[in-house]
Amino acid sequence: MNKLTPQEIKARIHLEQVIKQDWQPPVKRYADWWMFFCPFHPNTRTPALGVNLKTGTFKCFSGECGVQGDLFTWHMLRHNTDFKTAQAYYREQLPNVASHPMNARSELKQRRPAEPPGALWQLQALAFLQLCQTTLWEAGGEPGRKELARRGVQEYTARRWSLGYNPRWRKEPGSAWGLPHAQTVWLPRGLTIPAFVGMDLWYLKIRIFGHNGKPVEKHAGKSKYLQIQGSRPALFGMDHFAGRANLLLAESELDAILVWQESGDLLDIASLGGAGKQLDSHWIPYLLPYRRIFLAYDQDKAGLHGARKLAALSQRLVVSPPPEGDLTDFHQTGGDVRDFIAQFMST
């Protein structure tokens, strides 16, 4: 073990875990970055120290500090020592942190828990979303407002769920979003639907509109929705959980928003974002407190199949489709969503 080179040591000891143990837990976690408060200058509001999980390096993004380095630099700065001493220290630690040869940085992707998109993606997506939120309530957002009104979604609800409207198709290079340059980020015309968990935006989906200013049935023969490149799977609606005894899973995000508007005081609302979407194990702990979870998927083949597949996971999951179509269809034809929910909750 004593013959390991500095590069081999860094491959076996993860810098972010060292900082977590030596300093404090991260404040934010992105796909390739963990953000900490910087210990090398006064930093208590916005975490300035970023650790790149791919390169095993750290950097303070504050203008008054700017310190940067690797695993050895961290130890030298924190303990006021030299490189030789830092090497010796980590060699002594290796029997504890690398008890088998598979504990290398190459395994990081497999063991890392689900995380939101990276910092650059967050910045680009939030800037785009803010523009769309503003547009929705201006002259250019009239098609979006008409569609929300058709669905029965009130202005308060749309604002509460941060909905927006993109008035024209756009495309941007992946590099601008922190993605490989060869990838293209398409931003179609339509309603923008963000999925937040805490302060992080996990995905951004758009209900695509055509040139006539109306929602399309399908775009290019595929889905009527487009999820922005670089998005990560999440449990939509978690940011609005109020600790109710029961939960309703709607098939689509817009259905979930409508149900929240009509009966959010009766139960919590969420969506996996589609009939074929499976529940990622990362989100299961957030569902454990609920006594029952009602699966109000669409009254079609895909919806019923998806709901039954989920219901097979636990007896607490109950298939509860609306009387006709989907929840929005039911509402539009005069159905009382609140009464429908109150009835199946009482059984």
pLDDT tens profile 149-187: 999 999 999 999 999 999 999 999 999 999 998 899 999
pLDDT of residue 219: 66
Bridging pattern class, strands 164-166 and 68-69: unpaired
Asked if pLDDT for residue 234 goes beyond 60, the answer is yes
pLDDT value of residue 246: 95
In which order are the strands placed within the sheet that holds 49-52? 28-29, 33-36, 49-52, 57-60, 68-69
Amino acid at 145: R
**Percent of all residues in the chain with a pLDDT value above 70, rounded to a whole number:** 93
So what's the pLDDT on residue 99?
36
Per-residue confidence at 31, pLDDT binned at 50, 70, 90? low
Residue 97 has pLDDT above 50, yes or no: no
Query: Residue 48's Cα: distance from chain center in Å?
Result: 22
- Give the residue-averaged pLDDT of 203-218: 94
Provide φ and ψ at 34, rounded to 5°.
-115, 135
Q: pTM, whole model, 2 decimals? A: 0.69
Lowest mean pLDDT among 40-44, 91-95, 157-161: 91-95
Q: Which domains does the chain have, with CATH numbers?
A: 6-111 (3.90.580.10), 119-227 (3.90.980.10), 238-345 (3.40.1360.10)
215: left (phi over 0), alpha (psi -120 to 50) or beta: beta
* Alpha carbons 171 and 169: distance in angstroms, whole number: 7
In sequence order, which residues have a C-beta less than 8 Å from that of residue 341 and are 6 or more positions away?
248, 259, 262, 263, 266, 267, 294, 296
Percent of the chain with pLDDT over 90: 68
* 107 pLDDT higher than 50: no
Q: What is the pLDDT of residue 109?
A: 40
Cα–Cα distance list, 214 to 63, 140, 145, 224 (Å): 47, 13, 11, 11
Distance, in Å, from the CA atom of 135 to the CA atom of 124, rounded to the nearest integer, reads 17
- Taking CA atoms, 124 is separated from 32, 35, 46, in Å, by 16, 18, 19
Per-residue pLDDT band for 108 (boundaries 50, 70, 90) equals very low
What is the number of residues in the chain? 347
| Three-state secondary structure of 225-263 | EEECCCCCCCCECHHHCCCCCEEEEECCHHHHHHHHHHH
Indicate the pLDDT class of residue 95, thresholds 50, 70 and 90: low
Backbone angles phi, psi at 195, to 5 degrees: -115, 100
Whole-angstrom distance, CA of residue 307 vs CA of residue 346: 20
